[in-house]
């Protein structure tokens, strides 16, 4: 970078002298158009259930999700993401509840599409961990998640979600080759316009704990997910994963978590010029929220964290703050 001029003729603080001046030269801005709101679903009726490890986040029975979606539409949030808390009675080794057209996600999609049409987009997670008795994203055998056998199930799950009306299929499982198989199946069955948001870069992170509480998989998980989720020490591997998923037909790329991996978001954006979505995961959310609650940090940390993800190159951000930050975005 070449800096022309020198002090005292050049005073960079002049552009910071007042609120209007700072707004005038702001390089990164955030709006509700940049946000994706996750919604946790639970069986039953008339239920709004708090999640202890995620302050201010709730599970909703399907008859109660309209209050969340109504607010999201008013705010201008373009998309929601659906995640189920699956009853342990229907979990099994194969995760077969994922293929039940009357599972929580499928029922929610139908209700949302019937009531709201295309007023808001629906993103659906493709993975088996909410449905398996072992807590893994695919078929688990001898301490290893089977790749190709899992992909066949994920293809069926994707087709079912598309049939129900899902707009954006989001495979979060990290199996090799699943994007290409899903894209081919969607196109073959008349769902050419259904987008794929690939969790191409999903690290085996310590920041997922509260989410596993939210979907009820924490107590079921056998071992860890390091033989399919990425090693957090690796950067080049992330670029290889992205390149493969783009080649197989991904329309957008997810980086998860976001804050510890801002360098990865930036490198993907610079190298591939594709929409990159940063997922501010449950652990990030809970750390910030509890820090604010205890007076360790102030509320400005919320918007600072989101702006940092956007500044790194994210086109949009999945965040549990999406419907909670009106006062910051006026």
As a whole number, mean pLDDT of residues 80-98 equals: 96
Contact yes or no for 203/147 (Cβ under 8 A): no
As a whole number, mean pLDDT of residues 190-197 equals: 98
All structural domains of the chain: 29-324 (3.20.20.70)
Biggest distance spanned by C-alpha atoms of the chain: 72
Contact yes or no for 28/310 (Cβ under 8 A): yes
Which of these, 123, 141, 138, 131, lies nearest to 195 by C-alpha position? Answer: 123
> How large a percentage of the chain has pLDDT more than 90?
93
As a whole number, mean pLDDT of residues 44-70 equals: 97
Is the predicted pLDDT of residue 160 greater than 90, yes or no? yes
As a whole number, mean pLDDT of residues 276-280 equals: 98
Contact yes or no for 46/89 (Cβ under 8 A): no
> How large a percentage of the chain has pLDDT more than 70?
100
> 215 vs 80, 165, 200, 321, CA distance in Å?
16, 22, 21, 18
- Phi/psi for 149 (5° steps) reads -65, -35
Question: What per-residue confidence (pLDDT) applies to 275?
Answer: 97
Is the predicted pLDDT of residue 193 greater than 80, yes or no? yes
Question: What per-residue confidence (pLDDT) applies to 5?
Answer: 85
Indicate which residues carry an active-site annotation: 202, 256
Point out the least confidently predicted range of 9-13, 195-199, 252-256. Answer: 9-13
Banded pLDDT at 330 (limits 50, 70, 90): low
Is the predicted pLDDT of residue 152 greater than 80, yes or no? yes
Residues 6+ positions from 256 with CB-CB distance below 8 Å: 172, 199, 201, 202, 203, 205, 278, 279, 281
Q: Measured on CA atoms in the order 174, 108, 37, 221, is the torsion positive or negative?
A: negative
Which tens digit of pLDDT belongs to each residue from 297-317?
Answer: 999 999 999 999 999 999 999
Residue 121 belongs to what H/E stretch? Answer: strand 121-126
Question: What per-residue confidence (pLDDT) applies to 42?
Answer: 98
As a whole number, mean pLDDT of residues 119-136 equals: 96
**Entry pTM:** 0.96
Distance between CA atoms of residues 172 and 199, nearest Å: 5
Average predicted confidence (pLDDT) for the chain: 96
- Cα atoms in the 13 Å half-sphere on the side-chain side of 270: 8
Is the predicted pLDDT of residue 1 greater than 80, yes or no? no
Which tens digit of pLDDT belongs to each residue from 28-42?
Answer: 999 999 999 999 999
Banded pLDDT at 240 (limits 50, 70, 90): very high
Question: What per-residue confidence (pLDDT) applies to 92?
Answer: 96
Is the predicted pLDDT of residue 3 greater than 80, yes or no? no
What tokens appear for 171 in the block?
């495979």
């Amino acid at each position: 970078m070449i800096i022309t001029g020198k002090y005292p003729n050049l005073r960079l603080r002049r552009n910071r002298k007042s609120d209007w001046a700072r707004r005038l030269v702001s390089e990164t801005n955030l709006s509700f158009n940049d946000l994706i709101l996750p919604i946790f679903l639970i069986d039953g009726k008339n239920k709004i259930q708090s999640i202890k490890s995620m302050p201010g986040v709730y599970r909703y029975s399907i008859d109660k999700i309209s209050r969340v979606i109504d607010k999201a539409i008013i705010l201008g949030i373009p998309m929601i993401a659906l995640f189920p808390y699956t009853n342990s009675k229907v979990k099994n080794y194969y995760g077969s509840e994922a293929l039940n057209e009357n599972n929580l996600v499928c029922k929610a999609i139908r209700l949302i599409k019937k009531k709201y049409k295309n007023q808001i987009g629906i993103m659906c997670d493709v993975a088996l961990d909410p449905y398996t008795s072992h807590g893994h994203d695919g078929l688990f055998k001898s301490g290893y998640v089977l790749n190709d056998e899992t992909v066949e199930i994920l293809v069926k799950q994707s087709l079912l979600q598309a049939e129900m009306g899902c707009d954006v299929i989001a495979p979060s499982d990290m199996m090799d080759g699943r994007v290409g198989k899903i894209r081919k199946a969607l196109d073959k069955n008349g769902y050419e316009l259904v987008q794929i948001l690939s969790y191409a870069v999903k690290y085996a992170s310590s920041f997922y704990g509260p989410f596993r509480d939210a979907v009820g998989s924490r107590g079921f998980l056998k071992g860890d997910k390091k033989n399919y989720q990425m090693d957090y020490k690796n950067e080049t591997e992330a670029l290889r994963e992205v390149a493969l998923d783009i080649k197989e037909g991904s329309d957008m790329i997810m980086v998860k978590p976001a804050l510890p991996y801002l360098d990865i978001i930036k490198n993907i954006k610079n190298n591939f010029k594709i929409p990159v979505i940063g997922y501010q995961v449950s652990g990030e959310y809970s750390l910030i929220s509890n820090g604010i609650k205890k007076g360790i940090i102030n509320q400005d940390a919320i918007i600072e964290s989101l702006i940092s993800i956007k500044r790194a190159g994210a086109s949009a951000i999945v965040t549990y703050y999406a419907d909670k930050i009106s006062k910051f975005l006026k």
